[in-house]
Amino acid sequence: METLQSLVRELVILVILAVVLELLLPEGDLRRYVRMVLGLLIIVAVLQAAVSFWNRDLAADLSWVTLGQPDRAGTREILREGERLWQVGQTRALDEYEEGLARQIRALAGLNQEVPVADVRVRLEEGRAVGEFGRLKEVILILGVQHGDAGDVPVGAFPAAEPAVDPQAVARLRGLVADFYGLTREQVSVRY
Amino acid sequence: MLRGLCVGLLVILLFGVPGLCWAQAPDAGDDLFHELDLRRVDEAVGVLRAEVDNALPDLDFKSLVASLARGELGYTPGNLAAAIWRYFFKEVLASAALLGKLVVLAVICAVLQNISGAFEKSTTSRMAYTAVYLALITIALGSFVIALNTGREAIENMVVFMHAMLPVMLTLLCAVGGFASAALIHPVIVIVMNAAANVVKNVVFPLIFFSAILGMISHLATGFSLSRLADFLRFVGLGIMGVLTTVFLGVLTIQGVASAVTEGIAFRTAKYASQAFLPIVGKMFSDAMEMIVGSSLLVKNAVGLAGLVLIFLMALFPLLKIIVLVFIYKLAAALVQPLGESRLSECLNTLGNSIVAVFGVVATCALLFFFALALMAGLGNLTVMLR
């Protein structure tokens, strides 16, 4: 741009010179000749600027275009923050899923009239591997009489004395839940 | 080609940014929104707030996002139109002194030109005419520099705002699972955005400025015109702008669509895996994930839309300032023409055209940033849609 700036400066000076000469010179052919000479000077100025522009190292001159480029740390920081938000979302999704699943198992267990299921807890796989994440690890059936919102009752808060339920009925319920969700019998436990 | 790209991007914008409603998952949306670090965006909006406080009071990014998420804009079209009109009128009044100066100097020039026969030597009046003409050029160039600086400042503010918005938008893009898109698009957007701003500030604006100088000076000497050279410089400047626009939109479109497709395929695989490997409950799990991603997408769209509104406002007010100057110069040229002084009228008209070029460059830059933001807003939708 410096070349162009100096070219414009020269052209402005030449035009002002032309005006001054026009004022000073008498009417006649001389004015036309002076105008032609000034025209030639303008051509020379333009050509000179073009040549000097041509001879420059354009690659070096264009380095300013790449000013303010991003650093990898910035991208990494964004990805890290995004990963954190993604994890927050996943945890939330897992909670929703866990709640829905517990509700579903409670409804399934409720079909069995022999064993009173007060609450159901599920444990899920939290490892991020494909096919593992969200896999059902364990189902805990909490037996007893349901007290209002069973979700608020912590495990182990029930009386230590086991209610009078048929162990075979409990085993059948465990089998039903295990078969329904593709689990082993050991993965379905019962607490009182 | 450029028109095609613009239409394509508009389609992405219109169909990619769905109607916003936080009602689907209010808690998830709220939680995610409060997790975001919006300090830099607030700082960038503070500059705009200082500029348009009288025209648009209570301009705040967070409340704008919240109102957009509720499906409201916060400003009615009537309010906005009234604010624009007030700002325009205020600027016209502020520039009235400039118009007065230009017209008075033009009248003096016309009088000197017409009474040249009354002097013993016409050289005296011509000399005086030249002096007054140069004074007029000086004043006009001063206001042209103001227009140029307004444009430069507007572009700088938009770049600062974009730099503040980029991390937020890309973080939200990651939150809907667009990690590859974010990793790919961040350096590309920063490179093309900075390059565009640098080229405009260091090449296009100086070319328009030089073109304006040559255009004005070419009317000074009769029969010694440089108007073609002035036109050439302006042509080069606007040509560079055209190439820049095409490259910018082309790179963004290709990059955006390509990364969204990659992401979409990756997610389709993950979704299939969760349904295939988790017996019975796989669908329930993928539905829960979809709900969370959906609420993140809504937040991202609300933030993106707020960004678009702010970019629009950031461009609007400087553009109004510039268009007022165009109005003043065109009006001055129209007023001067009946005085019989065609050179002066032409000079003022040329300057008006040069300011129109500045207006065009700033508007194009705003459009580029607008499209970049719209693309980022639409990218998450495309990723989720492809799942």
Res. A121: pLDDT tops 80: yes
A133 in reach of chain B (CB within 8 A)? yes
Enter the DSSP assignment of B200: I
The C-alpha angle with vertex B357 and arms to B351 and B362, in degrees rounded to 5, equals 130
> What's residue B217's pLDDT?
86
Average pLDDT over residues A60-79: 69
pLDDT band at B23 (very low <50, low <70, confident <90, very high): very low
ipTM, two decimals, is: 0.71
Helix, strand, or coil (residue B173): helix
Give the nearest partner residue to B277 out of A24, A89, A131, using CB atoms. A131
Candidates A78, A103, A128: best to mutate against B (most CBs of B within 10 A) is: A78
Candidates B201, B217, B354, B379: best to mutate against A (most CBs of A within 10 A) is: B217
- How far are the Cα atoms of A8, A12, B113, B194 from residue B137, in angstroms, in the given order? 15, 12, 17, 34
> What's residue B10's pLDDT?
45
Provide the pairing of β-strand A188-191 with A117-124. unpaired
pLDDT band at B208 (very low <50, low <70, confident <90, very high): very high
Tell me how close the Cα of A167 comes to any Cα of chain B, in angstroms: 27
pLDDT in tens, B350-363: 888 899 999 999 99
Res. B215: pLDDT tops 50: yes
pLDDT in tens, A3-57: 888 888 888 888 888 888 887 877 777 777 888 888 888 888 888 888 887 777 6
> What's residue B163's pLDDT?
86
Query: Which of the given ranges, A81-85, B48-52, B109-113, B148-152, has the highest pLDDT on average?
Result: B148-152
> What's residue B273's pLDDT?
54
How far apart are alpha carbons B364 and B320 in whole angstroms? Answer: 14
DSSP-H helix ranges across chain B? 2-16, 26-35, 39-52, 61-69, 77-114, 122-175, 179-199, 205-217, 227-277, 282-336, 342-385
**In the sheet where A117-124 sits, what is the strand order?**
A117-124, A136-143, A188-191
Res. B20: pLDDT tops 50: no
SS3 content of chain A, % helix, strand, coil (to 5): 60, 10, 30
Residue B187: list chain A partners with CB under 8 A: 69-70, 75
Res. B369: pLDDT tops 80: yes
Identity (one letter) of the amino acid at B130? T
The DSSP line for B254-299 is HHHHHHHHHHHHHHHHHHHHHHHHSTTTHHHHHHHHHHHHHHHHHH
pLDDT band at B31 (very low <50, low <70, confident <90, very high): low
Domain boundaries, chain A: 1-55
pLDDT in tens, A86-118: 777 777 777 878 888 888 888 888 877 777 878
Could you tell me the sign of the dihedral formed by the alpha carbons of B132, B133, B136, B142, in that order? negative
> What's residue B124's pLDDT?
74
Give the nearest partner residue to A69 out of B166, B190, B281, using CB atoms. B190
Residue B278: list chain A partners with CB under 8 A: 131, 134-136
Tell me how close the Cα of B140 comes to any Cα of chain A, in angstroms: 16
Give the nearest partner residue to A89 out of B166, B270, B296, using CB atoms. B296
Tell me how close the Cα of B296 comes to any Cα of chain A, in angstroms: 8
pLDDT band at A156 (very low <50, low <70, confident <90, very high): very low
Residue A42: list chain B partners with CB under 8 A: 226
Res. B85: pLDDT tops 50: yes
Tell me how close the Cα of B90 comes to any Cα of chain A, in angstroms: 35
CB atoms within 10 A of CB A67: 11
What is the Cα B111 distance to its own chain's centre? 43
A46 in reach of chain B (CB within 8 A)? yes
> What's residue A157's pLDDT?
47
